[in-house]
Each structure stands twice: as structure tokens, then as C-alpha cells.
Structure 1
Amino acid sequence: MINSELTEKEIKILKLKAEVKNKFLKKGIQIALFSGITYGIYTACLTLGMTKGVWSDWYGENTAGLSAFVIVYLLAALGNAINDISSSFWAILNSIYQGKFQDFLRTLNTKPGKQIMLAALIGGPIAGTAFVVALQMAGSIIVPISALCPAIAAILGKIFYKQEINKRMALGIGICVFASFMIGSTGMGENFSTELLLGLVIAIIAAFGWGFEGCVAGYASAMVDTQIGICVRQLTCGIVNLFIVVPAIGVMAGGIDISTSLTIQALTSMPAMIWFALSGLSTFVSFMTWYKGNSMCGAGLGTACNGTYSFFSPFFCWLFLGVISGIDGWNLPTVAWIGAVVMIFGILLIAVNPLDFFKKKEEN
């Protein structure tokens, strides 16, 4: 009787553990999916902010006397820098509210903290700026291209860390590449231009940067509190972008005075800064929930869920800029929408084996 009762109790405990684990997994998936949604909102708010206030003069018909180099590269770097500074502001405010600011300061001098800084340098100044440049050159069509980062992360993981790429993952990578060709082909019609092609190429650079960041930051983020890690990442991105990348491009454009003048004008343009504040908040929430989702449902599945921004970014750009603001050029062809959905499926296939879900049901 005692053994029988103990066995029944053990069964109940195992069932309870399984239920708790499943609930935890589902919550992690929901949080990771939310990160993809908020990344889409960030993309739309940032793009909309770069049409308001002084930005409308810079990107207007008269271009405010700015050169093509300044318009394409310096303004994109400046927009990315202001967004990251805004995002770091929200992250630090949150750490103070949560009572974790001192932990954030201590983390800066630790090995995991320095690894996150290194990852931020790749994912922020390089990938982030490339993303904004591509967005300004080719529109939201580049977003699914940049979402190749999970596939690239899998390939880089194989090269740098000897991580396995099995047949399922290889198929997922192939699907992602096929989807990117589907999306890219929509720009090869009557409206095709060298600017659009260059935008697509630069979007691939962004994907490589974020893929590399995922490899480097994966280990470090596992040892640092999510909210603290986001502070380290966003502050690093903001400082490097605003005080190194933007001035450096300014020198290339003719002098550091150009970047200084444009930065002051941008920071004091309130109609635009309202949207940059919202884009920074969305960026902070997106990265924080992505890291949190990864810790709850695993980095593979979390990254796959976050990769849904390949759909949500074009969707919110179309909604905010096209429908609400009435700005032309933000409608995507049907093939691009289909390609975005195919991309999400490929990302999911890289991250997890769909058969595992059926196995878990059978075990339960």
C-alpha cells in the first residue's frame, strides 16, 4: 500500500512538473513573439521619426543643401545613434526602477559584460546602421532580408564553435535563402534601381552583423541578468554610434562640423524626437523580451519567435507610414508578404524540430 501510494504521488508530482514546464515554455514563447512585434513597432517609429521635423527638410526635394553621401550614410547613422541613445535611456531608467543600477555598473567590468559590449559593437554600429541605411534606400522590403540572421548565426556557429548543422537546419537555411530571393525579386521589375539593389546588399550586411552578435552574446547573456545585459548593450551601441561612428562619417563627408551641426538639429527637433523616444522604448522592450524569451524557451526557439519581425516590421511600416500617415511607397507586393511568411517558417525549422512537439504530446 505504501509503495502504491508513493507511486501515485510520484506520478502526480511528475504530471505537475510537466504542466509547470509546459506553462513556462508557452509563456517564454509568448514573450519571444512579443519581441518580434515590438521590433516591428520600433522599425516603423524610427522610420516615421526620420520623416518629421528637420528630417523632412533633409530628405525633402531640396535636401537642405546636403550631399548625397550625407543623406544616405550620415543621416542613417545619426538616426540609428539617436534611437540607441533613447533606448539606453529607457534601459537605465528601468534598471534604476528595478533597483539594479549598481549591478549594471559592476557588470561593466566583468568578462560577460565585456563580451556583451563586443557583441554590441557588431550588432549596433555595424548591423544597426546598415539596417537603417538599407531601410532608407529600399524601404521595408529589406526587413525580411535582414531576418536571415538566425540562418547566418547557425552557419557561423558551425564555423566558429563547431556547432552541428543537421539536415533539418540545412533545410531551414535553404528555405530562408529561397524566401530572400522571393522578396528581392519583387524589386527587379519596372521600379528596379541600383539604389534598391544596394539597399538589399546592405541589408545582408545587417543580417551578418546580427548573426555574429548572436554567436558572441549567446554565452555572455546566459550569465547576466536580462535587464542589466540590455543596459550594457544599448548604452554601448548608443555611445559608440553617437560619439564615434557619426563623427567619423562626418569627417568622411567633409568635416566633423557637419555631423555636430546635424546632431544638434536632430536632438532639438521635437516633432521627430517624440517618435525617436517611442522607437527607443520599443527597441528596449524588444531586446529585453527577446533575451527573456530565450532564457525561458531556449535560444533557438526564442530567436525563431523573434524572427517574426520579418513580417511585423513591413506590416507596421505599412500601417504607420502608409495607412495612417498617408506616405506613398510603403505598400508591399503579395510576393513579398508570402516571402516573409516563408522566411518565418524557415527560421522556425532552423530553431526546432517540429516533430518534437508531437513527441511531447505523446509522452504527456
Structure 2
Amino acid sequence: MSTIKTEAAELTPSSVVRRPGRGGGLIHLMWKYKALYVISLPGIVYFLIFKYIPLGGSIIAFQDYNIFKGFTGSKWVGFANFTMMFQHYDFLRILKNTLLIGLYDLIIAFPAPIILALLLNELRLVVFKRVIQTVVYMPHFLSWVVIAGMSVAILSPSTGILNQLLGLFGIEPVYFLGDNAYIRSVLVGSGIWRDMGYGTILYLAALAGINPDLYEAAEIDGANRWKQTLRITLPALLPTIMILFLLHIGKFLDFGFERVWVFLNALNTENGEILDTYIYRSGLLSQQYSYTTAVGLFKSVVGLVLVLIGNLLSKKTTGEGLY
């Protein structure tokens, strides 16, 4: 009888620990992990100030914005800026350039880090592997201005290394940065060279988490390296690939202003100009703030729709998604 009373006393409400989800549970949980919340506070403040609060400025896309009258004094025009956007003689051409460059980047540049990670994973000489990994990672620290300067030196029709090599085979010099036919390839190729090594790190980290016993079992069953890659490595990488793919398509129309602007000139603008450079010219140089805000809002909505569709298809096919 005394044992039952003791057990009952131990189960009194005052001694039961509240779980998250009940009254006071959230505060208790936050206090328990207060160190983690304090560490994350600078990141939260950064996103609030530079990402979420500026979203309020999107209201000027529906106004004839005047910088002296502000948000409250500017005239409302509804969707007039969006109508003007699609009726502009240059907009469809620039949208086509953005879509094509984004598509090339998705098809060619996105798989490049995956392929490089698989190749590095097959290297057995650790020192050689580390050297290669460091060499391909270093360009990520260069600015686009430096990369553009290097590209001009390499692709120059008179002194460029590439044209000198072509001359050895009797091919006439090509002005790659002054020809609309090559500017998209230059933009995508320079991005691959700069960021391929950085993206490889993520996939190598995922490869490091694969259980080596799986490869040993497959080898005992007679699977060669190619079959091991198809049956073990790629399925293990699939969750990481899908997450990065969804993040990539979210910025499908956001190719990057600086990345393109440093390569543009009067000879390649026809195929090289994208929405980001168009927003800079029309918004800052021509002071069409409402119009370019509408273009930027259009970009954001398209990116959001692509992420939602991609996430839905990913969860149905692979079971992986962003949420």
C-alpha cells in the first residue's frame, strides 16, 4: 500500500514535465535551447531587415511612384505597370534571353558539380584528390570583375590563348565577347568554372556519409564501379540533388546582375541582356521605379511558382522536398 502511495506521489502534476505543445511548453522549450536561439538571432535579424521588410516596397509596382510623395502620396495605377511590361518592345526579347540562359545553366551547369564530385570520389590517391579539389574550388573566391578581365584576356581575338590555339589548326580568330552567337555560352561557361568547385563540396559531404559496407557487399555480388555508382552512389545522393535542384529553379530568372553586366557590350547586348540588367538600366538609370519593381515582382512570382511545382513533383516522385 505504501508503494502505491509513493508511486502516486511521484506522478503528481507538479512533478510531471510539460511537453512541447501544451501550455507553457513552447516557452519551456525555447528557454531550454536558449543558446541556439541566441546564436541564430543575427541571422534572423538579417533576414528581417534585408529580406522581409523590403517586401513592403513591392507596393510601388501598383503605383506611379514619386520619390518626393512616398508610398502614401503616390498615385495608384493598379496593374498598369504590368501591362506596360508585356507591351514593351524589348521585354519579350529580354525575357527570352533570361529563359534561355537560365535553361542552359540548369541543364549544363547544375549537373557539373555532381559529375565532378563522382569523379573525385573515385580517386584513391588522397593527396592528388585534395589538390584537385582545392584547385577547382579557388575560383569561387574571385569576383566577377576579375573573371571578366581574365575572360577578355583568354578570349581576345588578337592575343587570347584560345584564338592562338585555334590558329594552329588554321581557324580564323573569333571575337567571342563581341558576337551574339557566343555570349550565352561565355556566361554559362564562366559560371561553371567559377562555382563548380564550390558546389562539389556539398556532394562530397553527402558521399562521405554513405556506408562503405554497401560497396563491399555490392563488390562481393560482382558489381563493378559503374554499377555501384548507379545502384548505390546516385540513390544516396538523390535527396541532396533534389533539394539543391529546387533551390536552383527558385532563382531560374535570377541569373545575377553582376555576372552578366561585366560581359555586356554594344556588340552582344542582343542575346546577352537579361531581366536583371534591364531592371538596372530602366530603374536606376532611367528612374522608372514602379515599372522595374513590377518586373522584379514578376520574377519573384515566377520563381515561387516554379519552386511550388518542383517541390510537389519531387515529393510525388522521390519523396523528398523542401517542406
User: Shared fold by TM > 0.5?
Assistant: no
Report the TM-score when normalising by structure 2. 0.30
Q: Determine which structure has greater relative contact order: mean sequence separation of CA pairs < 8 Å that are 6+ residues apart, divided by chain length.
A: 1
Decide which structure has the larger Cα Rg and report it. Answer: 2
Structure with more helix by fraction: 1
Report the TM-score when normalising by structure 1. 0.27
